[in-house]
Every structure is written in structure tokens, then in C-alpha cells.
Amino acid sequence: MNVSLLLVILLAGALITYFSSEKLARQVALFVSLVAFVATGVLLSQFQSGVSVDVMAQWISKPNISFYLKADGLSLALTLLTTAVTPLVIFSSFGNSFQNKRTLYALILFMAFAMTGTFLAADGFLYYIFWELSLIPIYFIGLLWGNGDAELRKQTMIRFFIYTFAGSLFMLVAFIFLYQKAGSFLLEDLYALNLTSSEQFWVFLAFFLAYAIKIPIVPFHSWQADTYQSNPALGTMLLSGVMLKMALFSLIRWQIPIAPDAAAEYKNFFIVLSIIGVIYGSILALRQDNLKKLLAYSSLAHVGLIAAGTYTLTLDGFRGAVLQMLAHGFVIVGLFFAAEIIERRFGTQKISEMGGIRSQAVWFTSVFMILTVASVGLPGTFNFVGEFTLLYSLSQINIWYAIIGGTTIILGAFYMLRMFQHSMLGETNTKVFADINIQEKVVFVIIVAVLILFGLYPKCLNDLIVPALEETLKHIK
């Protein structure tokens, strides 16, 4: 068994879902996503047993392009996140009514296929194809099943598509330049290149433009909040939970090891830029009355800290970044699902129009409180492990980076707890708020269990990712 089977399952599942009946589409999609998750677990077990699960085959002879899928601890960790979040997202949507469900759930599986391929690809051209393919399904999900005015939604999704596609073109130009130097797109060949300082700078910058938009890093973030708000809940969960991790992962896999001297020379600039995003995102979150926009700007602050830790070029920075990617993936999915439940019951996204939920829905209030404190890095939760490691890595470069970057915890605690108080407590909204049902409980229990389990025992994830990160650091040094 090798990793290509995982891609086959997701792609075939997307086709089967599309050609299934409207009545069974979401059940078929859920079954396929669970099969993909189990397959990922089997591949991970084989990898940890020392069995090679890589795939390497010549694809195109001229230019020299290979179908190369590489499984290491880093790629498998993000693949596991993708295949774990996808069934949660699908199952969480069972409480919604959609038109043309066959197409919607086929697009979700196709998106999971493209994101998984992005994490596993070890040929630059193949990686670029998967990277771009992931953009297509989320564009149509937001456009056809999104919220709000249709014309405004269309403008938002077109801006998102153009923004991210334009940034990716810079990455493509960088790959073409690197191919002319190496004679192939293979990851190892690109790592081995001896580029001049000037060449490294331009390659590093080209990759940065593609990744900074997708993450996003300030000032390339203007598409994010409106896109999150316009998308249906399942689209927002996929965007925030997995898709933005593609760019954070790519900093470690592609950008920094290919242009290590440029990364070292300009790291302080990019750390500062990322920390500005932490503060800026937190300030914008403080000003929001719309719950989905507040969560979007909160996410902007958290990913800014992840990017800052990555640019420290230290093992702790890389390790903290990957752990926080995984933690953030689960907690933000849980928070957006909670926001979706509130909107189903109250018919609003405005925090000022909520309130009074605690007295009616004890279960929901409890899990929402756990997700809220997990988001701000309460000790004992998964987010704390990642954030502490990231701040420690920043302190190794400059203590002020850690102090200022740590404002994400202080400001995050303020705006998240204030949001909880206004939305859950008080008597603002007089509508009946039914407590969560069995299906909703299952989603929340799984997410909360992951956040607590890996908050208390992250060693298994550390053991998985550290060897791959150490190997990457060898290329940088």
C-alpha cells in the first residue's frame, strides 16, 4: 500500500458522490471520507514501521516531470489533519438543507483530494497542479452555496480567486526558473541547487507572495474576512481548518529549504511582518460584532504567530508551527461549527443580537466554552502546546518578539471571552435556542477530545514530525 491509494480513494469518491442520488450524496461522501481517514491511519502505521509508502514514477519526459509523492512525518501529519477534518465537516452539515447535494459533496471530496496531493507532492510541477486544483472547488462552494446577497458573494469569491491565483503565478515563475537550473522539479534536486544570493532572494520573494496571500499575512489578508463570511459553514471550515495550512506547510517544505540564505538574511523582517499580523488581527477582532468575522480575524492573528515561529529557522519554531497548525485546524473548525449552530437557531451572525443561550442550552454552552479557552491557549489544551513552543522559539531570536507576539494570547483572551459573555450569557435574544442534538454532539465531542488528548500528551505527534523537521534544517544549515 502506498500514498497514491489515498488520492485514488478521494478522487474516485468525488466521482461516485457526483453520480449518486441526491438523497444518498452526503452519506456516500461521509463514507468515502471515513475510508480515506482509515487509509491514512494504515499508511501512517506502515510508515512508522519503516515501510516505504512513497510513489515515484516518470510522468512527462520533456519537460522532466515526475509523479512523486513523498511521505514523511511532516506531510503525513498534515494529511492526517485533512482526512480527519473532512468527515467532521461533512457530518456537521447534516443539519443543513442544500440544493444539488451531489455536486456540493463531490466538490468537498475533490478539494480534500487536491489538498492531500499538495501535502504529499515532492515534484514542484505536481505540487503546483494540486495547489491550484484546490482553489477550484472552494470557489464554487462559496459562489453557489454561500451566504448573503448573490451579487456581493460573486464579487467576493471572484476577488478571492484572482487574489490567490495571481499570487500562485509568481510561484510558478520561480519553479520554471529553478527547473532551468536543476533540469527537474524534484524536491531533492531543488534543495541541492547552489543559487546565488540574488537568485535566492527573488525565488524566496516569489514563493512568499504565493504563500502570504493564502495564509494570509498582513497586508495580503484583505480577501479573508469577507470570503469566510460569504462561504457556507462547511466552506469556511475547509478554508480555515485545512486550506490555509497548505501555505504554512509550504514555508517549511518548499520556500525556506530552497532559498535558505535568503531566509536567514531576511528572517527578522518576515518575523516582524508576521507579528504585525498578530497584533493587527487581534485589534480587528476586538472591533467585530459579526461572529464569523471575529473568528476570521482571530485566525489571522493565530496564523501570523505560526508564520513568525516558522521564520525563526529553529527546530522549536518549526515544531511549534506544525503543532499549532494541527491544533488550530481542529479548534477553528469547532468554533465555526458553533457559529453555524447559533445562526441556525437565531438567524443572525451578530453578537449583539445573541445572548441568553446558557439558560437554554447547557451542552452547547459547555462545549463552546471549552473551544473558546482552547483557542486562547489554556494550559492542558492542544493550542497551548503549539503557542508556548512558538513563543519560546521567538525568544531564542529576540525576547521582544516573544513578548509582542504573546499579545495574541492576552488580546485573544479578552475578545474571545467577551464574545462568549455577550453571545452565551444575558437575556438579549428571546428566541428559543434548542440544545445540540446527537449529531452535533458527536462532532463537538470528537473535536474536544482531540484538543484535550494532544494538549496533555503531544509526544506521539512530536515523535512523528521532528525527524522530518530535523532533515529540513540540515538543508537550511
380 lies in some domain: yes
335 lies in some domain: yes
20 lies in some domain: no
Please identify every stretch of the chain with a pLDDT value under 50, giving residue numbers as ranges: none
Q: Report which DSSP code applies to 435.
A: P
Residue among 412, 250, 231, 408 nearest 325 (CA):
250
**In 3-state terms, what secondary structure has residue 119?**
helix
What confidence score (pLDDT) does residue 429 get? 67
**In 3-state terms, what secondary structure has residue 60?**
strand
What confidence score (pLDDT) does residue 123 get? 95
188 lies in some domain: no
Rounded to 10 degrees, what is the CA torsion of 324, 329, 333, 334? -40
126-160 core/surface letters (b: 16 or more CB in 10 A; e: else): bbbbbbbbbbebbbbbbbbbbbeeeeebeebbeeb
CB contact at 8 A, 356 and 430: yes
Integer CA distances (angstroms), 448 to 38, 239, 274, 371, 451, in order: 20, 20, 28, 7, 5
What is d(CA 423, CA 251) in angstroms, rounded to the nearest whole number? 37
Total domain count, the chain: 1
304 lies in some domain: yes
Where in the sequence is the domain holding 394, given as residue range(s)?
285-477
What confidence score (pLDDT) does residue 147 get? 81
Q: Which residue has the cell 538574511?
A: 265
**In 3-state terms, what secondary structure has residue 3?**
coil
What confidence score (pLDDT) does residue 399 get? 93
